[in-house]
Amino acid sequence: MTTRDWKNLVLGAVLLGIAALLPLTGDAYAIALGVNIAMYGVLATSWALFSGPTHYISLATAAFFGVGTYVTASGIDVLPYWALPPLAGIIGGILAGIVGLATLRLSGVYFVIFTLGLAEMIRQIVTWRQNATGHKGSYVLTDLTENHIYWQLLGVAALVYLAGWAIGRSRLGFALRIIGDDEQVASHLGINTAVSKVALFIVPGAVAAIVGAMIAPRYIYIEPSTAFTPMLSFQVVIMAMLGGTGRLWGPIVGVIPFTLLWEVISVSFPNQTTLLLGLCFLLIVYLLPNGFVGLFQKIHARALSKEAYQ
């Protein structure tokens, strides 16, 4: 590891440590916002690990997230809570692996539509099963507080960042960037494109399921329409793009302002949220095609060229 790697590692640990102090303020509203930011931060960062280099836009976040909440909802009476998030991760990972094998041959828009349809399909299956068995939703009653959920999510965030950092320095990460640039070149270089893509698609799938399992106690009452809401998938994509997917720290830079903005929108315009979400998406794509990361790099490059002229 280089000095720069160590510096980034220490910086990341310090920032996470500071973030972990938030519950000490005792401000319930701030902590609730903190849970949202941590949740979207983990989801968007893990989403960008796969979709960033490959440019495959996955709308399957809600599918894996929903599966995770249902792992908690159906397992809470049988298993101790601590076993549920890891179990959700394993189930989410396996599901992502199967979906990946089936769909990663699809290109561009077909992949997007399939992932969107996947969340809807699982939601319909769960609804159908609930109708068939006669009970509509299920309760998740635990003594976990918002503080616990927040700290758990920060723990997952630390793992996701470490995983992202390791992947970025691995053959797999390099292979994914090559595949994202030109898949035909990748296969002619000797890269197993299918295996590489599926291997990395499993990461956001497992993480989203873990997050879903951890968030379930917050919802208390779990029903398919909230667990599998497609809005979640879109929000994750928008936040990751707002931040920029070219760097590991990119998505969180988009998550923080967007979560705050979203808070304002859903409080002030509760009936127009979808409309305003669409509007935000258009604005981001139009004004910041490469997100804050791209903007930062542009400013940086401009500063460098200015120096060169002086």
Partner 1 sequence: MRDGAQVLSLRGATKRFGGLVAVDGIDFDVHEHEVLGLIGPNGSGKSTTLNLISGALAPTSGTITLRGAPISGQPAREIARRGVARTFQLVRLLPSMTVLENVTAGAVFGHRRRWGHAAEAQALAVLEKVGLAGAAQSRVGQLTYIDTKRVELARALAGDPEVLLLDEWLAGLNPTELEQGIDLIHKLRDEGRTVVLVEHVMDAIRSLCDACVVMSSGRKIAEGTPGEVLSDPEVVRAYLGDDNA
Report the run of H or E that residue 225 belongs to, with start and end: helix 224-227
CB of 60 to partner 1, least distance (A): 24
CA distance 118 to 111: 10
Q: Among the candidate windows 33-41, 117-125, 188-196, 288-296, which touches partner 1 by CB under 8 A?
A: 188-196
Beta bridge partners of 82: none
CB of 178 to partner 1, least distance (A): 5
Nearer residue to partner 1 within complex by CB, 35 or 179: 179
CB of 182 to partner 1, least distance (A): 6
Q: Select from 13, 141, 166, 185 the one that contacts partner 1 (CB under 8 A).
A: 185
Nearer residue to partner 1 within complex by CB, 190 or 270: 190
Q: Select from 74, 127, 138, 187 the one that contacts partner 1 (CB under 8 A).
A: 187
Establish if 281 lies at the interface with partner 1 (CB under 8 A): no
Contact present, 205 and 103 (Cβ < 8 Å): no
Contact present, 240 and 250 (Cβ < 8 Å): yes
CA distance 255 to 44: 8
Establish if 184 lies at the interface with partner 1 (CB under 8 A): yes
Nearer residue to partner 1 within complex by CB, 83 or 189: 189
CB of 137 to partner 1, least distance (A): 46
3-state class of 197 per DSSP?
helix
Write the single-letter amino acid at 138. S
Nearer residue to partner 1 within complex by CB, 33 or 172: 172
Number of residues that bind partner 1 (CB under 8 A): 18
Nearer residue to partner 1 within complex by CB, 18 or 308: 308
Binding mask 157-176 for partner 1 (x = CB under 8 A): --------------x--xx-
Establish if 4 lies at the interface with partner 1 (CB under 8 A): no
Establish if 289 lies at the interface with partner 1 (CB under 8 A): no
Establish if 182 lies at the interface with partner 1 (CB under 8 A): yes
Alpha-carbon separation of residue 306 from 6, 7, 28, 285, 309 (angstroms): 30, 27, 47, 28, 5
Asked whether the CA dihedral 197, 68, 63, 265 is positive or negative, the reply is negative
Q: Select from 4, 135, 188, 306 the one that contacts partner 1 (CB under 8 A).
A: 188
Tokens of 110: 């077909």
CA distance 287 to 206: 32
DSSP string, 125-193: HHHHHHHHHT---EE------HHHHHHHHHHHHHHHHHHHHHHHTSHHHHHHHHHHH-HHHHHHTT--H
Nearer residue to partner 1 within complex by CB, 80 or 190: 190
The site for partner 1 (CB under 8 A) is made up of: 171, 174-175, 177-178, 180-182, 184-193
